Copies of this chain bind each other. A is one copy, B any other.
Amino acid sequence: MKFEITILGSSSATPIFHRNPTSQILNVNEKLLMIDCGEGTQQQMLRFGIKYHKIDYIFISHLHGDHYFGLVGLISSMHLNGRKKPLYLFAPPQIQEILELQFKHSATVIKFPIEYYPIQNDKAETILETNDVSVETIILNHRIPTTGFLFKEKQRLRRINKEVVEKLNIPEEYYALIKKGIDFKDELGNIHKAIDLTTEADAPKSYAYCSDTVADGSYLKQLEEVDLLYHETTFMHDMVDRAKETFHTTSVEAAIIAKNCVVKKLMIGHFSARYRDLSPLLMEAKEIFPETYLAIEGETFMI
């Protein structure tokens, strides 16, 4: 099952040095979930070949413009492209008023249902369960109500043991049933237990998205042992006072969180406009947590 993240933007506040504001696409088994939607996100989708119609769920962390100014344009384009199926929008409650005001003044009636899920910011909760994934909010600590998101794959199906099933000449069309735990009865009436025809599934993966936040608070316990943690890293650590003042995180702080939470990998992003070259941020984080990567636009990370 595919479980991978593509970066559409990683700039904080303003676009600069060809870096767009924040947006990411999580591909779960070929269904696309969008996380944040800064201005120009739809242009980035065109650039990287991501289709509008594959997105059914959008998650907005907070209402600073660099995380959602592209949303109204993306929804308008979905509308103009003839979308009919619902769009599920998990966002701060005020997003509905903001979008509807703009649709009203352009005399636009969006032709597909927008199902608003107003995110409550008082406690972490599960906001979505599909066959493939569950999504919990993570309560962050920023200047305005802000939530991160924890995406957990559902338990995967067991894997077919090729050697065994081929020896028994079990036709391929039965594989899907066997993976689901249904035993196979051969022509002679012999029962072959599904568990003997399969091997253990890969462990389900998890992805935590944390932007924007000061580097402390109750959210840390949700990050424990995640496969990939995306954590905002607006500043180098010499700017730690500025980071605290603006409720942001430094490269060192993000790396310490990754280490303390025993995550497998750390991806850093939301870079300040003061850094043209990002390698010093990466180096500073890697000194503490070697498995650190930069959120580079257009790159896809398998989780």
Q: Which residues of A contact B (CB under 8 A)?
A: 13-16, 18, 20, 39-40, 42-43, 46, 63-66, 69-70, 72-73, 76-77, 80-81, 92, 94, 97-98, 101-102, 105-108, 143-144
For A42, what are the chain B residues with a Cβ–Cβ distance below 8 Å?
A: 14-15, 39
Q: Which of B18, B43, B98 is in CB contact (< 8 Å) with A101?
A: B98
C-alpha spacing A16/B43, complex, angstroms? 8
For A13, what are the chain B residues with a Cβ–Cβ distance below 8 Å?
A: 77, 80
Q: A14-B77, A15-B46, A65-B76 are in contact. Are A39 and B70 (CB under 8 A)?
A: yes
Copies of this chain, count: 2
Q: Tell me the interface secondary structure of chain A in the complex.
A: loop
Q: Whole-angstrom distance from the CB of A114 to the nearest CB of chain B? A: 15
Q: Assess the B80–A144 pair: CB atoms within 8 A.
A: no
Q: Assess the B39–A80 pair: CB atoms within 8 A.
A: no
Q: Whole-angstrom distance from the CB of A268 to the nearest CB of chain B? A: 21
Q: Assess the B46–A43 pair: CB atoms within 8 A.
A: no
A107 to chain B: closest residue by CB: B144
